[in-house]
Each structure stands twice: as structure tokens, then as C-alpha cells.
A and B are shown apart, each in its own frame.
Chain A
Amino acid sequence: MPQDALLIENLGKTYRLGVRARQVHALLGLDLRVEEGAIYGFVGPNGAGKSTTIKILVGLVRPTTGTAHILGKPISHPAARKAVGYLPENPSFPDFLRPMEVMRFLGKLSGLSGADLDRQAAALLERVGLSHALDLTTRKFSKGMVQRLGLAQALLHDPPLLILDEPMSGLDPIGRKEVREVIVDLARQGKTIFFSTHILPDVESICDRVGMLLRGRLVREGALQALLDGTVRSVEIRCAELPAPVLEAVGKTALAVRRTPEGHSLVFPGTEQANAAATRLLSAGGRIFSMQPDRESLEETFVRLAAQIEGGPLREAAAG
């Protein structure tokens, strides 16, 4: 049975703001387990408590209630952080340092030194695509380059657990794809990835499990497929251009028929109607390019849940 990489019990954080120490509950009674080797997506709108949770886990913020353990060690002990690679949201590094200097400095703090540190740092900078920028100070870095450097420093001491706060933030589509690939690759190596994000399609494409946070509370948690409503809402058939009589016959049960550059698109209300139409279409000599069922996406699930819980749609919930 795999060990818990992260075990969070009744974790809560209340901030006291202003002169009157007004209480703001950022996180309420969070219980969570992340098994070793999992890719866990932590999603929620702005202000839901994702970053607060992560900051508690890496020792930046002290919890008001509850406890958390990283690979069996309590987070209150600095030694627990040996096992963690952390990428902050919008990371920032001393702007007078070059990437190799940043890596050397942070590597020493993780107990690395000498030629091993230099070798590891150079390899990681190459892996995240920064080997062309070794002569630049981080002051001259773009947001995407800083994000890549953030990812490299998180991997520097080869930690078994990676806690990434919005790792795709500030990256262009190519950069996002590369980070996704790095995450999947790390999981293949047996590392546990716990990451927060607004970009729900990224969660859908790489996560094993998902936790949804709303107003400091965990509202849904579990395997990704179990969270999604698997009901097929419609099926779209894309095919080559059809003779008018065939199109009329096939399209009788369709919800919508429209022309596309390659021929036609027909949308059916369910799988049975789509299958029947496909059979008729093929027997009439037609060519099918694709049959695509339309299911609720994670983003839609999230917005639906948010609306149910909050009693109305959340403006920020669909960010992505």
C-alpha cells in the first residue's frame, strides 16, 4: 500500500486583518490525503484558499488549526521540507543574480555543494529551456523565463514531492505543454506532484485526483473520472459531403446539421441515434471523419458545483 506523500487533517487558517483584527477565514477544516506517485490537482477560484494551503505546507504560513505531514514528518519541522520542491505562484529571485547563481545559492540551502550541485543545476536549466540565458541576470528575464527558473530550482535537490503553485502561470502554450510534459515525466519517475491551478483543462489532461476548494472549504475530492459527470450530452459526426437525399435521411434525428469545409457536421442527442445515423451513412457510401461525444468538462463541473454551493455562478470559477 503506497505511503501518504501528504496527509492533511483539519487544517485551517484564520487571518486577522486591520487594526480591529477582523477575522478572515482563508481555510476551514481541510482534510486531504495524497498518495505517493500521484498527480494531484488542487483547483478553485481566486481567494479559495489554495495558496494558503500550499504556504502552510511549505512553512511560510502557520496554521490556526490542524496538522499536516509530509512523508510522515510534521510540517512544523524544517526537516520535512527536505522532501519538498516548491514552486511559488509568480516566483521571484534576486534580480542581480544569474540563473546559475540562483541555483547554486538555493542548492546550498538544500544541502548540495560542489561539482554535483553545478552539474545538477546546469542539467535542470537545460531541461527547462534556459541554457541560452545563463549570462543574463534574472532582472532581464521574461515572466515565462522566471517561471521556468522557478521550476528548475524546485527540482534541484531531486525531491520526492513537488508542490507547485500555479505552475503554468505566465507561460505561453508551448511553455505550458512543456511544463505538462515535465510533470508527467516526473510522475513516471515516481515523484508525487501536488499542484494548484486555474487552468482546468491542464488538470483534466494530467491529474489522477482532484480537490476542489471553494471559500476555504474542500467541496469535492476524488479521482478525476469520478468527479466528472460522464453523461453524454450529444454526439457530433463529421463526414464528407453527402448527396441531398442521404443528408435528409440521416439528418432526420439530428439536433443540428451544418456545413463544414470538409463536408457536414451532424449533432445527435445521444449515442443510439448517432450509431444508427453512422450505419446509414456508411451504407450509403458516405465517409466519416470523426464521431465525438460531448461530456461535461471539469471546468463545467466546477462552475456547476460552484453555482450549486454558492447559489449562483461564480465569476472567477471559469478562469482558464
Chain B
Amino acid sequence: MRKLLAIAGNTVREALRERLLYNLLVFALLLVLGSLTISKLTLGEQSRIITNIGTGATQLFGTLIAVFLGVGLLTRELDRRTCYPVLARPVSRAAFVVGKYLGLLATLALNVALMAVATAAMLFLYRSDVGWVGPQFLGTFALMVAQLAVCGAFAVLFTTFSTATLAAIFSLALVGAGWLFSEVRTFWLEADQVGLKTVVRLLDFLLPNMGLLDMKEAVLYGDPVTLGSFLGRLLYGTAYSATVVALAALVFSRRDVR
């Protein structure tokens, strides 16, 4: 466990020195700050618009950060050969992959927390109360970490057997497919007009159900979400990411490092 934490800690430190991270984060924060102006263009619903922009910016830029930091986790170590002295120690390949991934996850959680604080600050500036920042608000941002965990896990998996560019493309494509499929899955699974049910079921099983990890509607429209539902979604995201990372560890364990 101590080795995992050492690798994760080093990964966080590396990520926090990454220029890309700050570029995306600054852009996302500017968007949240700008939401105050955008919200003034509409009549009423300003809090909803601020929240919508805040959560949307966190999702969009968080996904980009997760994928681009994720693809660099292993490829950078391999390209620069900084992993040689690490892997030549009594550290299993699986521990190395999981440690790097945990570091990525901590970085993503930090980013989401920062964005959540920025969005809450905007709401406070506009309404001078923190009524919107309730369990649903916090739950929405917490589930975003689970969304980004899935994105990061795909990025790590694909870099174990392909280049950084291809891994970024594959990851974004799969996450995009997950979002799109979650929009149509109920119809595709239940409507009689849709054929190839086996393929649909297989896609339903394999693709990440990103919609399930999204609680934006609840915070925007005040839909009630039970604690059980929240924990179930969180468990799904955690289990999905863990499976993808386990697969990444398996592939990396069989790979030559040269």
C-alpha cells in the first residue's frame, strides 16, 4: 500500500506541474466566471444557468483533462524511461498502473472540487445565499469524479497497447459513445422496432453508461435523488473504472518495457 501511495503521490505532483492542466483549468474557470454575465442575458433562472455552465464546464474540461493526463501517465514514463528504476524494484506492474491511476484520480478530484467551489462562489455572488449548494449539488460534482474516472481509466487502458494519440482518440470515442448510448439505450432495448437486440444488449453491457453518472438534471430542476440511487451510481462508476484499470494492469504486466 505504501508503494501505491508513493507512486500516486508522485503522479499528483507531476500532474500539478503540467501546463496543459492549468490551461484547461483556467479556461474552465473563466467560463464559470463568465456565467455571471451570461446569466444576465436571460430573464429569471439565473442560478440555473450559472449551475448549468458550472457543471457543463467541469464535465467538458474535466473529460479533456482526464483523457490527456491519462494518456500521458504511462507513455511519458515509457518514452522518457523514467519507469525503469521504478519497475526494476520489487514493485509489480499492476501496482505501478494502479498507483499511477490513483494519482490521476486524485488530480481529477482536486480539479472537480475546485470547479465546484468556483460554481458555488458564483451562485453566492449572484444570490448571496448558498441554498443551491445542497446534497444534490455536491452529489452531482461527486459523480462527475466517477465520470472522469471512467475517462481516465480508458486512457490508461489504451496506452498499454497503443500510442498516446490513438489512445486519446479511442478514449474520447468510447466515452462519447457511452454518452450517446445512454440517451437511446431505453428505446433500443425496449422498442420492438429495433432489431439486433443481442448487439444492443452487448453494447449496453460494454459501453459505460455515462448518463447514469450524470445527476445534473437533479440539481438543475430539483429532481429528488435518494442516497441509495446516488450510492448505486457511484458504485457502478467505481466498478466500471476498476474493471478497466484491472484490464490495463493485466495488459501492461505482459508487455515488454524497452
Contact = CB atoms under 8 A, between A and B. Distances in A.
B85 interface: yes
B254 A55 contact: no
Contact of A88 (B7, B10, B85): B85
B30 interface: no
Nearest to A13: B256
A60 B6 contact: no
Contacts of B6: 105, 108-109
Contacts of B81: 88, 90-92
B164 to A, nearest CB: 18
A93 interface: yes
B2 A108 contact: yes
A61 B85 contact: no
A92 B80 contact: yes
Given A92-B80, A109-B3, A62 B256 contact: yes
Interface stretch (A76-84, A123-131, A265-273): A76-84
Given A60-B257, A62-B256, A105-B10, A78 B84 contact: no
Interface in B1-43: 2-3, 6-7, 10, 13-14, 17
A81 B2 contact: no
Nearest to B17: A96
Nearest to B256: A61
Contacts of A58: 87-88
Contact of B2 (A95, A106, A113): A113
Nearest to A86: B88
A113 B5 CA distance: 13
Given A55-B257, A62-B256, A78-B90, A93 B85 contact: yes
Interface in B88-122: 88-92
Interface of B: 2-3, 6-7, 10, 13-14, 17, 80-82, 84-92, 254, 256-258
21 contacts: A59-B87, A59-B88, A60-B256, A60-B258, A61-B258, A62-B254, A78-B90, A78-B92, A88-B85, A88-B88, A90-B81, A91-B81, A94-B10, A96-B13, A96-B14, A97-B10, A105-B10, A108-B2, A108-B6, A109-B3, A109-B91
Contact of B258 (A55, A82, A105, A110): A55
Given A55-B256, A62-B254, A96-B17, 4 more contacts: A82-B90, A88-B84, A105-B6, A109-B7
A94 B88 contact: no
Contacts of B17: 96
B90 A153 contact: no
Contacts of A108: 2-3, 6
Given A90-B81, A92-B81, A61 B86 contact: no
A150 interface: yes
Contact of A93 (B7, B82, B90): B82
Interface string A56-76: 001111100000000000000
A84 B88 CA distance: 8
B120 to A, nearest CB: 31
B254 A91 contact: no
- Which of B3, B6, B85 has the most C-beta atoms of chain A within 10 angstroms of its own C-beta? B85
A15 B256 CA distance: 9
Contacts of A52: 258
Contact of B86 (A84, A109, A150): A109
A285 interface: no
Contacts of A86: 84-85, 88
B256 A110 contact: no
Contacts of A92: 80-82, 84
Nearest to A94: B82
A150 B91 contact: no
Interface string A171-198: 0000000000000000000000000000
Given A94-B10, A108-B6, A113-B2, A81 B258 contact: no
A111 interface: yes
A153 B257 contact: no
Contacts of B86: 106, 109
A78 B88 contact: no
A115 B84 CA distance: 25
A82 B2 CA distance: 16
A16 B91 CA distance: 26
